[in-house]
Amino acid sequence: MLKDRTDILIVGAGPTGMALSIALLNAGVDHEIIDRRPAGESTSRAAVIHAQTLDSLDEIGVADQLVAAGLKLESFTVRDRDSALLGVRFDRLPSRHPYLLMLPQNVTEDILANEIAKLGGVIHRGVAATAIAQGPDCAQVTVSDNGRDHTILARYVVGADGMHSVVREAAGIAFEGETYGESFVLADVHLQWPLGREEVSLFFSPNGLVVVAPLPDGTYRVVATLDDAPEHPSIADIQALLYGRGPEANPARVVDMIWSSRFRVHHRIARSYRDGRLILMGDAAHVHSPAGGQGMNTGLIDAVVLGNLLAGVVRESRPESDIDLYQETRRPAALQVLALAGRLTRLATMRNPVAKCARNAAFWVVDHNPVAKRRIAMNLSGLSRASLAHLPLAS
């Protein structure tokens, strides 16, 4: 049963909200976590977890469980049809987790939800925040609890409720940015795939990009740009994308499809991560292109950093002003991620033939520069932003 009063109310029980809940449970901080959905994610959605994210999740004790369920990959290759332009390896990263971890989002959510239950927590599903008002000592949140209104008084309310965040709207925080013109196709399929299951492959072609990545259950994740993608891409749609953009000498063949979707990509960041007792994280604070697989990763690190700060403030080992350290560290990290994802998307969706030739030549040069390749691996893994995931000691 929902409490009438709590220290922290987390609105949203996706991976980011659940990671914050685990951090607070580990610290013994009273909180409630709600989600308007009656159940967790049932499809794979976000499917890659990077080294820096796993390093951060070590702090809340869930990284090893995720690693055990996932598929470790050590290489990422940029290709123009049959030509490999750039190969990036992750096996020498300065991390306890020197690899890309492929793991469907629904499995990630199951592992996090099981950890919450093991620690004695409860996710209140079918509960939607409908109104939020800030007072001098707490925020008053009206929720619809499976059709019944209920009021919760919370010292702090954390919005982990996605791009259309109720918490961000209540705080009046602008969500600045734009929407990309292209739509994206997302599908999990069984493939006859000529390049094996040891790498993530990003293909450039005159028609746009396609990414193919193996998943632990033997399927493959396919992501592609399309000017006007169908709402539910078919096997024929995915096959056409792979024929038109993937390997030519030994083409891929789609055997069957598990699920598919389309989505529009936004490039936005909240002007502020906090307004008084209302705090934003994950997609409520930043959204961007899936290029580089950074979205969920950035949100998970948000959760670990914010969990440390809120635990310190609630237990009075940190002053309340230290909550501002969250924005001071995590918003610059998100800006770097938005810039990285934007660059990758622009490179992948070039249409001018001269610009494409220049791009491919530049990748060839970079592929012969170990220092540049190391920098790319550090950026993709998130380790180049590791300092923005560490907090100074309490004053």
pLDDT digits (tens, 9 = 90+) for 144-183: 998 899 999 999 999 999 999 999 999 999 999 887 667 8
| CB neighbours of residue 191 within 10 Å | 23
Q: What mean pLDDT do residues 220-244 have? A: 91
Domain CATH number, residue 275: 3.50.50.60
pLDDT at 44: 55
Is residue 284 within 8 A of residue 162, CB to CB? The reply is yes
Per the domain annotation, does 29 fall within a domain?
Answer: yes
pLDDT at 42: 55
pLDDT at 225: 82
Per the domain annotation, does 122 fall within a domain?
Answer: yes
Per the domain annotation, does 332 fall within a domain?
Answer: yes
Per the domain annotation, does 63 fall within a domain?
Answer: yes
Q: What mean pLDDT do residues 377-392 have? A: 86
Residue 188 phi, psi (nearest 5): -110, 125
Nearest alpha-carbon partner for 8 in 325, 296, 315: 315
* 3 state SS of 367: helix
Q: Strand 123-125 relative to strand 31-35: parallel, antiparallel, unpaired? A: parallel
pLDDT at 395: 54
Phi-psi region of 227 (alpha: psi -120 to 50; beta: other; left: phi over 0): alpha
Q: Flag whether pLDDT at 45 surpasses 90.
A: no
Is residue 310 within 8 A of residue 156, CB to CB? The reply is yes
pLDDT at 347: 78
Per the domain annotation, does 134 fall within a domain?
Answer: yes
Nearest alpha-carbon partner for 246 in 88, 77, 359: 77
The torsion angle over the Cα atoms of residues 135, 138, 142 and 145, rounded to 10 degrees, is 180
Quote the radius of gyration of the chain (alpha carbons, Å).
21
- Length of the chain in residues, anyone? 395
Distance CA 143, CA 36 (A): 9
Nearest alpha-carbon partner for 22 in 56, 71, 70, 69: 56
pLDDT at 181: 65
pLDDT digits (tens, 9 = 90+) for 48-83: 999 999 999 999 999 999 999 999 999 999 998 888
Per the domain annotation, does 334 fall within a domain?
Answer: yes
Q: What mean pLDDT do residues 245-253 have? A: 95
With cut-offs at 50, 70 and 90, classify the pLDDT of residue 5.
very high
What percent of the chain lies above the pLDDT cut of 70? 97
Residues in contact with 326: Cβ distance below 8 Å, sequence separation at least 6, in sequence order:
273, 274, 279, 302, 305, 306, 309
More confident residue, 265 or 33: 33
Tally the domains of the chain: 1
What are the helix and strand counts (H, E) for the chain?
10, 19
Nearest alpha-carbon partner for 4 in 145, 134, 152: 152
With cut-offs at 50, 70 and 90, classify the pLDDT of residue 355.
confident
Is residue 277 within 8 A of residue 138, CB to CB? The reply is yes
Q: Identify the domain containing residue 31 by its residue range.
A: 5-74+97-177+266-349+373-389
CA of residue 240 relative to chain centroid, distance: 28
pTM of the model: 0.94
Residues in contact with 1: Cβ distance below 8 Å, sequence separation at least 6, in sequence order:
none
Distance CA 222, CA 24 (A): 35
pLDDT digits (tens, 9 = 90+) for 263-272: 877 789 999 9
Arithmetic mean of pLDDT over the chain: 91
Per the domain annotation, does 141 fall within a domain?
Answer: yes
Per the domain annotation, does 26 fall within a domain?
Answer: yes
With cut-offs at 50, 70 and 90, classify the pLDDT of residue 295.
confident
